[in-house]
Amino acid sequence: MRLAVLASGFGSNLQAIIDAVEGGKITGRVEVVISDQKDAYALERARRHGIGAVYINPRHFSGREAFDREVLTLLQGKNIDLVVLAGYMRLLSPVLVGGFKGKIMNIHPSLLPSFPGLEGVQQALDYGVKVSGCTVHFVDEGLDTGPVILQEAVPVYGQDTAASLQERIHEVEHRLYPRAIQLFIEGKLEIEGRRCFQNET
């Protein structure tokens, strides 16, 4: 199965996905990494592993839909089966979501529907929760509102800062995201309305 990763920054989840592919835990391959940031380290990670690395400058397009139409054309040209968002800081338009309906995943550093959007870790700390975590979900046209695939809780300690909690959540993300991708590849994920089920067939 052919995967594409969209990333805007450092790309630690991308690296976890690449490692899982190379270690046989994901039985697909990353065909291309696309970024809206020219200096995103995720692009360098892709190049180091012989993966296509593409920067698309948002300023060259009239708006979000025009940008996403360019991304969609690129993805379709490479016969991509699953689009994976890894620290991608752009909200997808209906153009891209509709073009890959049920075939776009994201990971978010909170137990959705709590603390969606930016700074999910800091939001959790500010609220004073005792448990946070991460969520892998399918992407719809809302902000972190798609059907949940996998979630895992991470305890919040009294001395936690956003950085320390983020680090522990990242450790879980790096394990959970490859697992969700492999479930998709194996055809074990089924969406019914808001809910995502794992079937064993």
- Residue 149's pLDDT is 98
Task: Convert 170-193 to b/e letters by CB count within 10 Å (16 or more is b).
Answer: bebbbebbbebbbbbbeeebeeee
pTM of the model as a whole: 0.95
What's the domain count of the chain? Answer: 1
Give helix 120-127 / helix 162-185 axis angle, nearest 10°: 130
Query: Which residues of the chain have a pLDDT value below 50?
Result: none
DSSP-assigned beta bridge partners for residue 83: 4, 104
Pairwise CA distance, residues 52 & 43, whole Å: 8
- Residue 154's pLDDT is 98
- Residue 10's pLDDT is 95
Question: What is the domain extent for residue 189?
Answer: 2-198
Annotated active-site positions, please? 108
- Residue 201's pLDDT is 60
Q: How many CB atoms lie within 10 A of CB 77?
A: 9
Beta sheet of 29-35, edge-to-edge order? 52-55, 29-35, 2-6, 82-85, 104-108, 131-138, 148-155, 195-198, 189-192
CATH classification of the domain holding 154: 3.40.50.170
Nearest to 105 by CA among 11, 189, 20, 167: 189
In tens, the pLDDT along 82-107 reads: 999 999 999 999 999 999 999 999 99
